[in-house]
Structure 1
Amino acid sequence: MKTIAPALQTHLDSGTTTLAWCWRITRADGVAFGFTDHDRVLMFDGTDFEPESGLTASEIRSGADLSVDAQDATGALRSDRITEADILDGRWDNAEVELWRVNWANPAQRILMRRGAIGQIRRGRHAFVAEIRSMSHIVGQTVGRNFQASCDAALGDARCGVDLEDPAYQGTGTVIDRLRDRAFTAAGLGGFAPGWFRFGTLTWTSGPNAGRRAEVLAHDPSDGIAVLTLLEAPIRPIGSDDGFTIRAGCDKRIATCSAKFGDVVNFRGFPHIPGQDTILRYAAQDGSHDGGVL
């Protein structure tokens, strides 16, 4: 139950209100933005809530169960603060959202209505619609370990222990030529075996995509030239001479963990767990289905 400050309650009881919605959105990179559906800039808590984005809200869809409450916020892509490139680049994915009800005539009179996160973003030619999910969406996320044959650690994290800054697992290269929107040839990786960087990560160090990171789908060297294919095409086109840093990848199998990284002691999977084929086995006379230990 929310507690409304006496001054705001008096304003609500007056019968004639001057209320506006304000959103504070904090992206994963720590940058915070303020927006309002009022026609003037509102300021509180060190944030300027600007109206230029054209951000407007729908009704709040709420239920009494544990389903995720949601609200849609619509904004114009013409805003300098919300660009199509940033949306496509994932900068707004899962950003933290605070929704305030504010007396625009006196912003000190306000109440925090809800907290949530940016969910699905739908884009049109001139505008976007962002779904604002309530905190109950966290309940649907996987918590704890997964019992599976493959490793559930992220390569290079504390549970894995592999040092990806080791020169054996890291390389630098330069784009020679773009083959497709997400594939290109590169120089500087001639010393690495085929597939070494498959499932790894690539970070652009120069060019229009500088600072962005991408996942590597395939690594195929030929005559000292590496052909790299990314999982998704970058937001901005890949150009010749674009520089990057690339790190080795892992397919999460224990054989790869042993042969490529020598890190079986930290393997976080269960390679001997029975698979679905065990459930489908049946009695036969060939000697392999006698009910003995697998």
Structure 2
Amino acid sequence: MKAAPGPLAALLDSGEDFVMADLWTLTLSGGSVVRWSGADVALSANGNVYALGPAIERGSVSEKRGLEVATLEVRISANAGDLINGVPLIPFITRHGLDGAVVRLDRGFGTDWASPLSGTILRFAGKVTAIGEISGSTAKLTVSSWAILLNVNMPPNLYQAGCLHAVYDAGCGLSAAAFAVSGAVSGASTALAFGSGLSVAAGDYAQGRVVFTSGANNGVARAIKSNTASAFTLIQPLPAVPVVGDGFTVYPGCDRTMGRCATRFNNLGRFKGTPFVPPPETSL
């Protein structure tokens, strides 16, 4: 059973008429947050404002015991005025802007549409795991519950040459902020590559990450494929082509080798690879 906050419980117990609506919170891969109201008006709840967004249809919410992954099918219908960072929503989705986004669905209850909601109840939370059919002004998404994180190979610890940690994760122990470098876009750009005024070591940011901090891609993160001293090439295209002056922050990547761990990050004490274990076909 889910507990309702005090004002909401009082409203439901009063026997009075009430209104209710879905409240959507989307956190993009770079940390930017978008909030949409499922009603015909913008709503306020829990100190947040849920803007009037696109029309969103969803499947029923199922709650399951055990480790089975629950999914929620979502169909978004957008018009020209539905934007994320100034980019029309459907093109933003087409260009992978919602890939890996964290989705939270709350159900809000209130006395009327003009007043702040009395309270909310969490209905579903997870991340976007699939982008389905995109046609015209509509897009279909699949959101999977957090149990999806358990769909990993077991056992988690293997004997392999490369480090088992991902750079900046809890096992690695490094702070991404300590290695962050901020800059601004300069020169001609495409959705897959952009120049900057930075001067960095070529290749140092391969397998790293860029997070845009302003412009049409604000809050969007992408993996870096390669870099020169001042330009970066991405693995996936951005939702919008960066323009001169757009801010970004880049983080160097790690190929999980012992050499990279020692020379670039000085973090050999946390290296969790076994490069000196001979392969099984080696005979002594």
Distance 2:220 2:151 in 1: 29
Distance 1:201 1:86 in 2: 19
SS at match of 2:55: coil
- Decide which of 80, 83, 94 is 2:82's aligned counterpart: 80
Q: Quick check: 1:33 aligned with 2:41?
A: no
Aligned residue-pair number? 266
* Structure 2 unaligned residues grouped into runs of 5+: none
Contact persistence 2:61–2:124 (CA under 8 A): no
Residues 46 and 145 (structure 1 numbering): CA distance in 2 closer, same or farther, change over 3 Å? same
Residues 64 and 173 (structure 1 numbering): CA distance in 2 closer, same or farther, change over 3 Å? closer
Residue 248 (structure 1) shift: 3.1
Distance 2:52 2:263 in 1: 57
Which amino acid in the other structure matches residue 272 of structure 1? F
Contact persistence 2:101–2:127 (CA under 8 A): yes
Which amino acid in the other structure matches residue 272 of structure 2? R
Give the TM-score, by structure 2 length.
0.65
Which amino acid in the other structure matches residue 22 of structure 2? C
Contact persistence 1:177–1:186 (CA under 8 A): no
Contact persistence 1:199–1:249 (CA under 8 A): yes
Contact persistence 1:220–1:228 (CA under 8 A): yes
Instruction: State percent identity of aligned pairs.
Output: 18
* Structure 1 unaligned residues grouped into runs of 5+: 282-287
Larger radius of gyration: 1
Distance 2:162 2:96 in 1: 29
Distance 2:269 2:226 in 1: 27
- Decide which of 137, 144, 148 is 1:137's aligned counterpart: 148
Distance 1:70 1:127 in 2: 19
The answer for the alignment partner of 1:248 in structure 2 is 252
Q: How does 1:188-199 map to 2 (within 5 A)?
A: 188-189=198-199, 192=201, 194-199=202-207
Q: Quick check: 1:124 aligned with 2:132?
A: no
SS at match of 2:124: strand
Distance 1:163 1:50 in 2: 32
- Decide which of 199, 209, 219 is 1:201's aligned counterpart: 209
The answer for the alignment partner of 1:258 in structure 2 is 262
The answer for the alignment partner of 1:284 in structure 2 is none
SS at match of 2:76: strand
Residues 136 and 240 (structure 1 numbering): CA distance in 2 closer, same or farther, change over 3 Å? closer
Which amino acid in the other structure matches residue 98 of structure 1? L
Residue 238 (structure 1) shift: 3.8
Residue 76 (structure 1) shift: 2.3
Residues 144 and 86 (structure 1 numbering): CA distance in 2 closer, same or farther, change over 3 Å? farther
Residue 126 (structure 1) shift: 0.8
The answer for the alignment partner of 1:95 in structure 2 is 102
Q: How does 1:1-294 map to 2 (within 5 A)?
A: 1-2=1-2, 8=12, 20-25=20-25, 27=27, 29=31, 31=33, 33-36=35-38, 38-39=39-40, 44-46=45-47, 53-60=54-61, 66-78=67-79, 80=82, 83-84=88-89, 87=93, 88=95, 90=97, 93-100=100-107, 102=109, 112=121, 114-119=123-128, 120-122=130-132, 123-140=134-151, 146-147=157-158, 148-156=160-168, 159-161=172-174, 165=178, 175-178=186-189, 181-184=191-194, 188-189=198-199, 192=201, 194-204=202-212, 208-209=216-217, 212-220=220-228, 228-239=232-243, 246-273=250-277, 275=279, 278=280, 281=281, 289=283, 292=284
Residues 121 and 8 (structure 1 numbering): CA distance in 2 closer, same or farther, change over 3 Å? farther
Residues 171 and 73 (structure 1 numbering): CA distance in 2 closer, same or farther, change over 3 Å? closer
Contact persistence 1:155–1:162 (CA under 8 A): no
Which amino acid in the other structure matches residue 129 of structure 1? K
